[in-house]
Structure 1
Amino acid sequence: MNNVARTRSRNAVSIAGIDSFHIGGQVVKLQDQPKLQMRVAGDGVTREVDLNGSYVTGQLYANHVKLANPQHEVPVMFWHGGAMTGVTWETTPDGRPGWQWLFLENGYDVIVTDAVERGRASWSPYPQIYKSGPVFRTKEESWGMYRFGPVSGYHDDPAKRQAFDGQRFPMSGVDALGAQLVPRWSIHDAESLAAYEALLRRVGPVHLVAHSQGGWFALNMVLRAPELIKSVVVIEPAGAPSLSKHDLAGIAHIPHLFVWGDYIEDVPAWKKYRDGADSFMTALRDEGGVSDLLDLPAEGIRGNSHVPMMDDNSAEIAGMVSEWVAKNSGH
């Protein structure tokens, strides 16, 4: 892709409706759980809380914003990464419009999701339903894995943090991003894919834009439900599945865009993730498919972190992605 100057369009946004719903999952019934005596609201009286009964588990949450006059027939759907929720796409940690709004301005209906076990999708009791406890992400881990700076550059005092030279994630947003992080589990890939597929079957086909762990889910979903995905944009996917010749034949018609930021070589885990995604991209190209790369540093755009939708040039990158989606909508 060419690095060309872009001015962000600011089309008026007239919203016809917002549809919020949960989809997917199953009902699990618990028995033989202890009955508790507890106060559940402020200074209210103590009452019995009975944990026996039916629970919905494995569902996801979706928020579908519909324009009064969409300029594109197919909506854009956003999937977030690990330890994150749909807020990834809503507003940047330092208060700028997120990609949800920017794509609405560009004339797309937009669907933002909270994946299974995250955010408004909720999670389930463990070990009664989930078989293990959650994993939590610290601000220190985020600093390193999101490539804000060297691990040694993190400090509790914001004034003492040392970011990578040219870092484009606003340092004023580091603590706000830390507040967004949520518990996650590492054992629910099957449940997550099932819920995502149920969502696609309800609202698809879509242009799918996915980040990090969500990118891994997206590349697997292309194999699972290719008829429901018009194009797919994976932003720094956390790995990619291996492809057989049969797989390639079934998905080569779907345009793919792979987006990467800066400082990849500074974090070994991201070098491995990129190697896997590059293999996927190359295999698609060899099959004759549209498999494009937006390597931001190679385009002369330096300093982007693992979360380019939050970086100080997020609107510019959203514009580049939106242009690519529009260009490839006819496939």
Structure 2
Amino acid sequence: MNVSFSKIARQNVTISEITSFHIGGDTVELSNQPRLMMRVAGEGMAREVDLNGSYVTGQLYANHVKLAAPRHAEPVMFWHGGAMTGVTWETTPDGRPGWQWLFLQAGYDVIVTDAVERGRASWSPFPQIYDTGPVFRTKEEAWSMYRVGARSSYAAREPYQGQRFPVSAFDALAAQLVPRWTTHDDMTLDAYQALLEKVGPVHLVAHSQGGWFALNMVRRVPHLVRSVVVIEPAGAPRLASEDVACMGDIPHLFIWGDFIDEVPSWKKYRAATDQYREVLAAAGKQTREMDLPVMGIRGNSHVPMMDDNSADIAALVVDWLAQNPGAAI
């Protein structure tokens, strides 16, 4: 199947405004913390650093790029996956335009986020506020979980046959990986809800762990989600009949890459997502699955927005959005 982003009618991108902000979270007061004498800059004099006081925790970061003449009423909002940040959407690891730019070219205002405790959203002290330490992703785990190749093939950098991720840029991808916590789902959902309440409604495009958050969010604030595109979600919530009833008719698009049978975890994630999609379809909701290999587009990894055909996958999403713009509830 041949798809090209050049088929999308594009205009020169004229940006009217770029804003960024933090939203969500609470203030937590800490006491009985140590007072430290330390140098905080270069070879400057040591000074006292008092760790007692107020901290903001649970916030996320958003960057909003607005076009001078957008061609669509609602923006596209991007949510990243686990151990990742909004960099996912900005530029590919080998330097090609990311989906942020491509969707601006397609006429959408674009919002890129860093979730709670990721990237520019910042951390909170642990174990004083976060009750556990972070989890870090190794290059070996990224190689296998992103389905670039089998874990046993990492040392030799031998990808799966037909792999479309630019393997020469794998180290650049690994440099993007950040610490994450596995116990902050509620905090993250609250922050995402606050963000949608500030800027919604939006077309929501989410990847991996972000896809799980997105599928939960359409139950919370369906009136703020025009449509939802979930790219290889890391599972999906179980839907009850009352959940489906309150969701309105938000169009759902599910996108899957190649080599899923090679990684047991991804087979489980997909099974849970398929169950979610089947419940929606049985209730007459608008859903579509793009199984890229079945469509004749083979070789995509877990990060199709970074693969060598990333612009073509973006074109599929833009075309779907044009056909399924969503409707107010």
TM bucket (normalised to shorter chain) is over 0.9
CA shift at 1:330, angstroms? 4.5
For 2:145 and 2:5, the matched residues in 1 are separated by 31
- Structure 2 residue aligned with 1:113: 113
Unaligned segments of structure 1, at least 5 residues: none
1:261 matched to which residue of 2? 257
User: What is the TM-score normalised by the length of structure 2?
Assistant: 0.97
Alignment partner for residue 305 of structure 2, among 274, 296, 309? 309
> 1:203-282 alignment to 2 at 5 Å?
203-282=199-278
Distance between the aligned counterparts of 1:134 and 1:66, measured in 2?
A: 34
Alpha-carbon deviation of 1:5?
Answer: 3.4
Question: So what's the TM-score if we normalise by structure 1?
Answer: 0.97
1:54 matched to which residue of 2? 54
Gaps of 5+ in 2: none
1:252/1:287 contact within 8 Å kept: no
Q: Is the 8 A contact 2:227 2:326 kept in 1?
A: no
CA deviations on 1:35-71 (whole Å, 9 max, x unpaired) are: 0000010011111000001000000000000000000
Of 152, 158, 164, 1:168 maps to 164
Tell me which residue corresponds to 1:191.
187
Change in CA separation of 1:180 and 1:287 when aligned onto 2, cut-off 3 Å = same
Q: What is the Cα deviation at residue 4 of structure 1?
A: 4.8
Indicate if the aligned counterparts of 1:222 and 1:229 stay in contact, CA closer than 8 A: yes
1:111 aligned counterpart, secondary structure:
strand
Instruction: Give the secondary structure class of the aligned counterpart of 2:59.
Output: strand
- For 1:113 and 1:227, the matched residues in 2 are separated by 20
- Alpha-carbon deviation of 1:6? 2.8
Cα drift, residue 172 of structure 1: 1.4
| 1:124 aligned partner | 124
Query: Is the contact made by 1:252 and 1:288 (CA closer than 8 Å) also made in structure 2?
Result: no
Contact 2:222 2:248 in 1 (8 A): no
CA distance in 2, matches of 1:22, 1:188: 17
* Cα distance between partner residues in 2 of 1:4 and 1:222: 32
**Counterparts of 1:165 and 1:51 in 2: how far apart (Å)?**
52
**Contact 2:39/2:47 (CA < 8 Å) preserved in 1?**
yes
Q: Give the equivalent residue in structure 2 for 1:6.
A: 4
Give the root-mean-square deviation of aligned CA atoms. Answer: 0.9
Q: Match of 1:327? A: 323
Give distance in 2, aligned partners of 1:59 and 1:271: 32
Partner secondary structure for residue 93 of structure 2 = coil
Contact 1:22 1:62 in 2 (8 A): yes
Distance 1:297 1:330 in 2: 27
Kept after mapping to 1: 8 A contact 2:147/2:301: yes
Q: Could you tell me how far 1:250 is from its partner in structure 2?
A: 1.7
Q: Distance in 2 between matches of 1:294 and 1:28?
A: 44
Q: Deviations over 1:187-240 (max 9, x none)?
A: 110000000000000000000000000000000000111010000000000000
Equivalent pair of 2:201/2:225 in contact (CA under 8 Å): yes
Does residue 293 of the first structure (1) align with residue 289 of the second (2)?
A: yes
Counterparts of 1:48 and 1:97, CA distance in 2 = 45
Partner-residue secondary structure (3-state), 2:60: strand
Pair 1:321–1:200, CA change in 2 (3 A): same
* Residue pair 1:256, 1:291 contacting (<8 A) in 2 also: yes
Give the distance between the partners of 2:23 and 2:198, measured in 1 at CA: 9
